[in-house]
Every structure is written in C-alpha cells, then in structure tokens.
Amino acid sequence: MDPMLNIAIRAARAAGDLIVRYVDRIDTLKIAPKGRNDFVSEVDRQAEHEIMHILRKAYPGHVFLGEESGRQGAAGDEYVWVVDPLDGTTNFLHGFPHFAVSIALMHRGVPEAGVIYDPMRQDLFTAKRGGGATLNSRRVRVTRQNSLTGALLGTGIPFKDQTHIDAYLGMLKALIRDTAGIRRAGSAALDLAYVAAGRLDGFWELGLQKWDIAAGVLLIKEAGGIVTDLGGGEGYMDSGNVLTASPRLHQCMLETIRPYLTEELRAQPA
C-alpha cells in the first residue's frame, strides 16, 4: 500500500478509536459554539490533535489544514493534509451514530490520497489517485443509475448560512419529484463516500468546506463518478457547492437544478 495512504489510515483509525470512547460519555464533554448552529467539542480537538501528531511525525515538512486548528506547517503548498477530525459533530453530540473522520492529502492542489472512516460501523473508505477506491479493502464503483427515476440521493440542508435557502428548496422540490427518496444524514464526508460505494446514487450540497469534501471527491472520481459545482464547473473546492453522481445521472441532476441557480451560484470562484 502507498505509504502516505497507510499513514492516513493509521491516523483515521486512531482518531476513530478516540471518538468511540466518548460515545457513552457525551454529557461529560465541554462543548462550545463556533457559529450559528455550529458547535465544537473537546473530542473534535483531541481527535484532530491525534491525527496531526501522527501525520506530522511521518511528514514534518508538509502543510496541515485542520477544521479546528487551521493551517499549520511549512510554507508552500506542494503537500497539504486536509483534515476533518469529526464530520457530523452535531450527530455525535446527539448520540446519532452517523459521523466520520476525513483525511485527504493534496499534492499541488490536487487530491492524491483520501480516507474516510466511520468508527461506529468500522467502515474504511480509501482512495489513491489512479489507484481506484475501496471500502474495507474491496473495490467500489458508483452506481449505474442513469435517471432520477428510482434514484436515491443525499443532500445537506444549508442550516448555517441560509443566503441561498430559497434556491436550495427549489432544487430539493424539483429533484424529489421523480426520485426514490432524498436523505439528509448530517455528514457530507460520509454522503460522498456513500456515492463512491454505490449506497447513494447522487449528492448535492451548498457551502461546504475543503475538509468536508477533499477525501470524498477523490473517492468518487476513483470510483468512476463525476464531481462538479452546481453549474457543472470545476470550482467546487473553492465555492463549496458540490454536485456528484454517476455520469448520466449527474447530467440529469444538473439539468433539473439549473432553473433554480442564482447568478451568484452560477458564478465561478475568482
């Protein structure tokens, strides 16, 4: 196995073990607000510290971008580790067992390796650029779904920043009309991993961060899926607006949401 991917797996498992130890002790945790409807716990911080310790020991010359600690390390951006130590913190704090650790390695701005680990189910999703995507060491592919009819989609409701809530609700209403259903499970990292593994046919969300999507984007691409922004462009890492599915379903989703895109949502990041 690629040594960088191997280190990421080790770090993700260590963080996952730490998170699970607190599942039955949530009422003892210190919790602080980060913003509107957004919270951080001491578990987030401890898990990120554990990840960073393992990554930094192996690659001291790399840059590290963590959700809780920000950007650290050497100047430049040849190698950047992008870390979300607990994606789905709100789920975790409510005892809702759907959250994950997400770690990605970017090489000159391109995802090179990615790991998403669900510590409750012990599901390990991994990807290496050019090497395919796996779930628990088994190769995975996106589904062959080619239309909205019968499709199962994932999404994330924009509850933090509701600037585009009307546009989003229009997309939701249009997409739900012909599908088998739409799921809002509360962890974008796992939603993206589920698309890669064929558990969801497609996914879209607005306003995500790099640490939410970097690993999942690589998983989906290596599993044969398409990832774009809401207008079909390549600006999703900067805008945080993501739409992904198998190639034919992706086109159907783009066409369905197009009437609801505002000029701001159509615009490419500078």
Question: Which residues are documented as binding site for Mg(2+)?
Answer: 67, 84, 86-87, 212
DSSP for 167-180, written as a single string: HHHHHHHHHHTTSS
Dihedral sign of CA atoms 141, 145, 148, 151 in order: negative
Give φ, ψ of 99 to 5 degrees. -160, 170
In terms of Cβ atoms closer than 10 Å to its own Cβ (0-12, 13-18, 19+), residue 114 is buried
Tell me the three state secondary structure of residue 241: coil
116 contacts 102 by C-beta, under 8 angstroms: yes
Which of 223, 230, 180 has the alpha carbon at shortest distance from 198?
A: 223
152 contacts 183 by C-beta, under 8 angstroms: yes
- Residues 178 and 256: their CA atoms lie apart, in Å, by 11
Task: Read off the amino acid at residue 145.
Answer: Q
Which of 207, 251, 208, 194 has the alpha carbon at shortest distance from 226?
A: 251
Positions at the binding site:
67, 84, 86-87, 212
40 contacts 32 by C-beta, under 8 angstroms: yes
Neighbours of 176 (CB within 10 A): 14
- Residues 6 and 29: their CA atoms lie apart, in Å, by 31
